[in-house]
A and B are shown apart, each in its own frame.
Chain A
Amino acid sequence: MSPDTAAIRSSYAPAPGHRYAVGDRVRIKGVFPPGHRRTPWYIRGKRGVIERICGAFPNPEELAYGFDGEPAKVLYRVRFAQKHVWPGYRGPDHDVIEMEIFEHWLEPDEGEAP
């Protein structure tokens, strides 16, 4: 892999104008629009914390239909408590699941931490 390619694929690409910061509490939008969506069904409506800002990337939900994916969307890695995501979860309380989610799927979470 050339250095140029490595830079493009970095998890730390620039993310100009990002709305959320590491540590911010967010809620995944509980919406169910048609089409190619990059947010798994089971995480919609769940609440987590921004673990890192991955960078800004062409929007795959637009690329999927042959468009150019511009403007780029900021991608975050979000951390969720497993016991919050899965009802009846039997593992340790500190188990987490992390998932990369685009900014347009996030909203601020003001309530108590789940």
Chain B
Amino acid sequence: MSDMPVNKGPHDIGGESAGPIDTTDHGMKFWEKQANALRSVLSRAGVVKVDELRRAAEGLEQYGKLAYFEVTTSALRVLLLEKGLITEAELKAKMAEVRGRFSVPDEMESPIKKKDKR
């Protein structure tokens, strides 16, 4: 038997000790701005609702390990697949195409070559 309370979501942490909070403003990365714009447009157009995004986010297995825009973007991915607006195959093909533009051998490697960094 698990000690985890039944049906308690990973987001529902009110009153729990959470350790220090990093209040540094990290700004937004380019992809975060792009992904956030997409989420904003789809919300404004009524394609996805904020309640759906929250529900999808709460269901992410990696919820506690993901950064904010990773959570919102992963939730958006779930909803678009759920609504049949994209398929896994289309998403995979598009990601491969985009990745190809950067000639990145490993998906975890930065698209910015080390020698190009300033």
- Chain A residues near B (Cβ < 8 Å): 32-37, 40-43, 60-61, 63-66, 69, 86
Judging by beta carbons under 8 Å apart, are A41 and B52 in contact? no
A41 in contact with B12 given A32-B5, A32-B7 (CB within 8 Å): yes
Number of interface residues of B (CB under 8 A): 16
Kindly state whether residue B58 has any CB partner on chain A within 8 Å. Answer: yes
Please pick, from A40, A42, A43, A64, the residue contacting B55 in the complex, using a CB distance under 8 A: A64
Chain A nearest CB from B74 CB (Å) reads 16
A36 in contact with B55 given A41-B12, A41-B14, A86-B15 (CB within 8 Å): yes
- Nearest B residue (CB) for A39: B12
- Nearest B residue (CB) for A60: B51
Complex interface: chain B residues within 8 A of A43 (CB) = 14
Judging by beta carbons under 8 Å apart, are B52 and A63 in contact? yes
Which residues of chain B from 69 to 114 have any CB-CB distance to chain A below 8 Å in the complex?
82-83
A65 to B52, CA, bound (A): 6
Chain A nearest CB from B109 CB (Å) reads 36
Chain B nearest CB from A112 CB (Å) reads 24
Please pick, from B14, B49, B51, B54, the residue contacting A40 in the complex, using a CB distance under 8 A: B14
A45 to B7, CA, bound (A): 16
A64 to B54, CA, bound (A): 7
Judging by beta carbons under 8 Å apart, are B55 and A32 in contact? no
Complex interface: chain A residues within 8 A of B8 (CB) = 32, 41
Q: Would you mind naming 7 contact pairs between A and B with Cβ atoms under 8 Å apart?
A: A34-B7, A37-B9, A40-B14, A43-B14, A60-B51, A64-B55, A66-B83
A64 to B14, CA, bound (A): 21
Which residues of chain B from 12 to 54 have any CB-CB distance to chain A below 8 Å in the complex?
12, 14-15, 49, 51-52, 54
A40 to B58, CA, bound (A): 13
A36 in contact with B51 given A41-B5, A66-B83 (CB within 8 Å): yes
- Nearest B residue (CB) for A31: B7
Chain B nearest CB from A31 CB (Å) reads 9
- Nearest B residue (CB) for A58: B51
